[in-house]
Amino acid sequence: MNKPDSHEADLLRNYIDTERAEKAPEDFTSRVMSGIRLENEKYGLKKGILARNIVPAVSGIVTVSLIILASVLPGNSGEPLPLIRFIQNINIQIPKIDLDLISTFELPEWIPYVFIGVFFLGLFDMGISGLFHRAGKQ
């Protein structure tokens, strides 16, 4: 195997002259760092909605959860909470729907095949459009 130590001549030294390499100005590092700091300050304000409003979001979630817990959990007295009493007193009557008209309606035998064909054509279309979108981005 080739070992780097066995090569006596350094190929890079033949093409790069270290004496002729340009040196950066003395204040180059400080100017670059100040530019980076200014850039961070400029774009630091553009955070996500949740990142900017994390404190109100957390306090709102805590407040809503405490209100729900206070209305659902039983207290020291033996009587149910007002919310539970309100739910128990609700009388909802569901109207009766007449399904006789629907039960007499019959679909032709070929309708399921049409739906299956449309489903497969939709899958094929999604695959082809994904293929062409990927080809256009490259």
Domain ranges of the chain: 48-74
Cβ-based neighbour number of residue 132 at 10 Å: 10
Check residue 116 and give its pLDDT.
Answer: 93
Burial state string for 19-48 with b = 16 or more CB within 10 A and e = fewer than 16: eeeeeeeeeeeeeeeeeeeeeeeeeeeeee
pTM of this structure:
0.28
Check residue 96 and give its pLDDT.
Answer: 83
Check residue 5 and give its pLDDT.
Answer: 54
- Which residues touch 57 (CB under 8 Å, ≥6 apart)? 50
Mean pLDDT, contiguous 10-residue spans, the chain (138 residues): 56 68 80 81 62 83 86 68 75 80 78 91 87 63
